Amino acid sequence: MIPVLSVIAVIIVLVVAHELGHFLAAKATGMRVEEFAVGFGTKKLTLLTRGGTEYNLRPIPAGGFVRIAGMDPGEESPPDGFNAQSVWKRMLVIFAGPLASFVFAYVLFCSLGMTVGLPLGGPKAEVSNVIAGTPAAEMGLKAGDQIVSIAGKPIRTGEEMMKAIEANPGKRVPVVVNRENNSVTLYGTPRPTEIPDPKGGGKTLTVGKLGFNPSPSLKRVGFVESIEKGTILSYNMVKQLLSVVFSKRIAKEAGGPIAIINATHQAAESGIAHLVILTAGLSLNFAVLNLLPIPVLDGGHILLLLVEVARGRKLSARAQNAALTFGLAVLAVIIVLVLAKDITSLLPMAR
């Protein structure tokens, strides 16, 4: 798949899955949905109009939205509008978006075993994706490269590949790869990295890291095992994501739009299986991050509704707008910081 098209396709799939949750919940609770749009921008292409809802495509494929009647703060809501409904109905509609993103990811993970295969077993001696700003990126490794030898040592398995890299911290070594049936020799210096000593005792070992993820060994399994493994995979990914979000690691490990585009590009180059796995992972990320209690995000809207429950009456339009403005400011700062990290990570590649 052409890289740019793969990025657009993944964005559209993630947006449609998320917004479909809001849409279905709004319809189920009797609210009037005026528009279901994929993309942003003032111009629109109306595909059809049904049940009082316009289904539109807009020119900027970087998101999408569901426009429900009477949803803006202070807007006079018709009887079938958002603000005219009970707080619990409104909360259900807001929560349905992240829930749909999670369900979509879970269904993808549970179906992987029966289709393209699940990442079970050890890694292959093959590059899945290269992390920007690392020795692997600087030496020119690419997704799909099959590692043939490292420092003159033949490589047959993913385990042998990892051991050979770890055994050469700070040493410039030749890496022979098979790229599109051509033998290519690259030179890189594994970055010295401290890891806990497997023998324990509180000691550490210094090993080499190039900065790429190996391709997983994909294995097809039966229906029951596919659901079982998909459930475990979903649980572990959510657990890992939460551990990063609520720790000091978030500043180091968070990635922004550039990182997502880069990962999607490389996953597309590695094959449909990797692209599906990445899409499922991004959908889970989308679900969890959207529930953060920041006004503008779904979690922030839920927080404001909980405040309304606690007060016993609705927040004024002024208070809602103030909260949304604050949320936008916080989100803008986060976006700038993450984008700065993305751009900084790309700078070493330009040297």
**Tokens (6 digits) for 187:** 């030179």
Out of 19, 126, 138, 269, pick the active-site residue: 19
Element (H, E) at 206: strand 204-209
Q: For 26, what's the count of Cα atoms within 13 Å in the CB-facing half-sphere?
A: 28
β-strand 191-196 against 33-40: which pairing, if any? unpaired
DSSP-H helix ranges across 29-157: 87-112, 135-139
Instruction: Report how far residue 303's alpha carbon sits from residue 295's, in angstroms, rounded to the nearest whole number.
Output: 8
CA angle 222, 227, 230 (to 5 degrees): 115
CA dist 294 to 17, 214, 250, 325, Å?
Answer: 21, 35, 16, 11
Distances (CA, A) of 317 to 67, 80, 130, 171: 18, 19, 47, 62
* Nearest residue to 100 (alpha-carbon basis) of 19, 161, 38: 19
> Rounded to an integer, what distance in angstroms lies between the CA atom of residue 137 and that of residue 159?
21
Whether 19 sits among the annotated catalytic residues: the reply is yes
What are the catalytic residues?
Answer: 19
